[in-house]
Structure 1
Amino acid sequence: MNFSLLSKMLLALALFVCPFFVGHAQQLSGKATVSALFAFGDSILDTGNNNNLATNSKCNFFPYGRNFAGGKATGRFGNGRVFSDMIAEGLGLKTLLPAYRDPNLSNNDLPTGVCFASGGSGLDQRTARLQGVIWVPDQVKDFQNYVTKLNGVVGSQKANAVLSNAIYLIAAGNNDLAITFPTARTTISAYTDLLVTWTDNLLKSLYDMGARKFAVLGTLPLGCLPGARNTYGNIMKLCSVPANQGADNFNKKLSAKLNNLGTTLPGARFVYVDMYNPLQNLINNPQASGFIDVADGCCCMPTSPIPCPDASRYVFWDYGHPSEKSYQTIAPRIIQEIKQKLA
């Protein structure tokens, strides 16, 4: 399967379905602290920012959120909590990371972090424009508005402490590679170079606003997403090698860039969060973690017109999003690494 077929399948998915500050920071270990979590990027982290956008890339309806508390569809692209929620909980902040654009967002939630991510978005402006979602640089504009609100809630001194001791979680590039690259009229090497440059610009923008601790996610194994495996003509539901190679190309360049950024941005620390290999391990050895299906999504696919009875047995929830169980399986080791290197 080629990138063009993958892009059509994932775009079809996006258009069809989609997913108080108390005076001190959370203590993690020794004297290390983390005050808040801020999430930027795409549907891996989005906790509901797309709900009120004029876009079809949203999932605030059943069966999304089927395993969420109360069975409520919140706009998270999955059957329950998503990766950003689990990182927030693992850092001792809160069990749910609220969406910044949630009209019911409380001022009490501002000091411990919010989510700015938008499902279907990317680093390439064309990716966001195609689906009518919030482009990553525009998420930074939302963050600027957030800072103004935070200053009003806790005062500038405490606000600065929150910003400098927070962790900035970023997931971008998945949609750029899967949806936009096939029409970009360039090579995968040149396009991944662009994605890394745009990531660099994003990190510097946040750094200039006080950010110092960054956890940046690589892309998923795009060729092994159910949307790629189940494309017309792929009878054996094999992973797409070219799509995985493109993701791997980007991930290696991103990791190398993050290793070097600490020397150019004084006081900043970076963690490259490997999402590719942990998920690939679940795909290659599903039984070890209690999974039975790696090629199909539990719901919202021709292979599962009726949602499966137990999403915890599936590595993926739909065409392109891991199940809550998959996130729960890979998150602990990632949380530990973030604590060790950033907290």
Structure 2
Amino acid sequence: MFSVYFFIIFSFSYGSHSHFLVTSVYLHGNGATYLPDNVSVPAIIAFGDSLLDPGNNNRLMTFTKANFPPYGKDFVGGKPTGRFTNGKTLGDFLAKGFGVKEYLPAYLDPSIKDSDLLTGVSFASGGSGYDPLTSTLAVVIPLSVQLEMFKKYISKLKIKVGEEQAKHIIANSVYFISAGSNDFLTNYYIYPIRRLRYDVFGYGKMLVKFAMDYIQEIHKLGARRIVVFSTPPLGCIPIERTIAGGLHRKCVDKYNKAAQLFNSMLKQEILFLAGRLPETRVAMADLYNPLISIIENPHQYGLEVTDRGCCGIGIIEMSFSCNKLSKLCRDDSKFLFWDSLHPTEKGCDIYINLILPNLLKSLF
């Protein structure tokens, strides 16, 4: 557990007047909320991959699932919901951090209520990516279909609350997109289809183009506060250490450099695009540097293990290979990773607390 006091100065404009708000924030690893007093976020909307998928894959014929024990063992009632972790995901902590609600539900959850739609849902699908081929290979929901689901969501909102209120919710919500990791790790570096045509720079450039197009698509539908996650340090994910990190399971430099190159191009294009979209805030949430800091300095964040997951022996298990027969670590709150690919609830909590102050400054 970590605790930090610090102060944030928010600068914002209303009419012809500029205002400054000084807010003190106490973070104690529990997803603190610290929006400026004059700001409210009606809903959180998520697109992308397993970092934001709370169970949309459950009814798919795919191996990319997590709707069975021990996944969800620390969630409400110890229930496996399809979240790729032991408890809450990044999406859940974002929903709480922006003062919306405790949990971000899956749009395809059959038990979802109309009231859930008013405060946001996730369309994300574990295994998805910017590259349409990535979703095809994993047999999951591509971003293009997630966009169509969002259009249906908007129609449902209009029926529920009327045209004007629906427009208000869409315009003032915060949108998150998490993709890119699967494009490199389960597509580019495994299958030859893209590598025969693109080097790493060319493939990264293509992915960035897909990302920019996607931002513009949701902008056309009314989104005005958009956050795009960068890729994490791909070479330090436990399963990649195992596969390509040698006898000592070191971080794979080649994968980390690919992530850094992609993130650099993504950041540059986001800054350029943000200046072209009227009355819109577009920000990049850095997954790379905060996770590197946690991996290299675990004790600073109350963790002990960052090179393997809690499930099984933690170096290769994920999805169906992490199951009710798998042995678990004694204390998952000391682990950054739950399985060999996805962070624990504690890891998500720490990460969101690290990035949320900068996100708020970028969005409001």
TM-score normalised by structure 2 residue count: 0.84
* 2:178 aligned residue (160, 168, 171): 171
Q: Which amino acid aligns with 1:286?
A: P
**How many Å apart are 1:341 and its aligned residue?**
2.2
C-alpha spacing 1:51/1:300, structure 2 compared with 1 (3 Å): farther
Separation of aligned partners in 2, 1:65 and 1:274: 26
State the match for 2:129 in structure 1: 122
**How many Å apart are 1:310 and its aligned residue?**
1.1
State the match for 2:350 in structure 1: 329
Gap runs ≥5 in structure 1: 1-25
State the match for 1:313 in structure 2: 334
State the match for 2:69 in structure 1: 62
Contact 1:42 1:117 survives alignment (8 Å): yes
RMSD of aligned alpha carbons: 1.6
Please tell me whether residue 209 in structure 1 is matched to residue 221 in structure 2.
yes
SS at match of 2:152: helix
Separation of aligned partners in 1, 2:200 and 2:36: 42
Structure with more helix by fraction: 1
* 2:303 aligned residue (262, 268, 291): 291
State the match for 2:153 in structure 1: 146
Contact 1:219 1:276 survives alignment (8 Å): yes
SS at match of 1:120: coil
Q: Which amino acid aligns with 1:317?
A: W
- Sequence identity of aligned pairs in percent? 39
Separation of aligned partners in 1, 2:73 and 2:267: 35
Q: Which amino acid aligns with 1:166?
A: S
**How many Å apart are 1:33 and its aligned residue?**
2.8
Separation of aligned partners in 2, 1:179 and 1:163: 33
The CA deviation string for residues 220-239 of structure 1, in whole angstroms up to 9 with x for no partner, is 11100000111277210100
SS at match of 1:228: helix
Q: Which amino acid aligns with 1:295?
A: D
Q: Which amino acid aligns with 2:117?
A: L
Please tell me whether residue 78 in structure 1 is matched to residue 99 in structure 2.
no
Q: Which amino acid aligns with 1:249?
A: L
Contact 2:49 2:124 survives alignment (8 Å): yes
State the match for 2:57 in structure 1: 50
State the match for 1:248 in structure 2: 260
**How many Å apart are 1:169 and its aligned residue?**
0.6
SS at match of 1:147: helix
SS at match of 2:330: coil
Gap runs ≥5 in structure 2: 1-32, 318-325
Matches within 5 A, 1:154-303: 154-182=161-189, 183=192, 184=194, 185=196, 186-231=198-243, 234-301=246-313
SS at match of 1:148: helix
Instruction: Report which stretch shifted further, 88-97 or 299-308.
Output: 299-308
Separation of aligned partners in 1, 2:54 and 2:35: 24
* 1:87 aligned residue (84, 94, 97): 94
Contact 1:27 1:34 survives alignment (8 Å): no
State the match for 2:5 in structure 1: none
Separation of aligned partners in 2, 1:68 and 1:249: 36
Question: Structure 1 segments of 4 or more deviating over 4 A?
Answer: 300-305
Contact 1:300 1:319 survives alignment (8 Å): no
Contact 1:27 1:33 survives alignment (8 Å): no
C-alpha spacing 1:41/1:233, structure 2 compared with 1 (3 Å): closer
Instruction: Report which stretch shifted further, 314-323 or 37-46.
Output: 314-323
Structure with max Cα Rg: 2
C-alpha spacing 1:149/1:270, structure 2 compared with 1 (3 Å): same
Tell me which of the two structures has the higher relative contact order, counting C-alpha pairs closer than 8 angstroms and 6 or more residues apart.
1
Instruction: Report which stretch shifted further, 293-302 or 268-277.
Output: 293-302
Instruction: Report which stretch shifted further, 148-157 or 333-342.
Output: 333-342
Q: Which amino acid aligns with 1:224?
A: C
Q: Which amino acid aligns with 1:313?
A: K
Q: Which amino acid aligns with 1:222?
A: L
* 2:139 aligned residue (128, 132, 144): 132
State the match for 1:21 in structure 2: none
Contact 1:46 1:119 survives alignment (8 Å): yes
Separation of aligned partners in 2, 1:139 and 1:300: 32
The CA deviation string for residues 40-63 of structure 1, in whole angstroms up to 9 with x for no partner, is 000011011001111110000011
Q: Which amino acid aligns with 2:337?
A: F
TM-score normalised by structure 1 residue count: 0.90
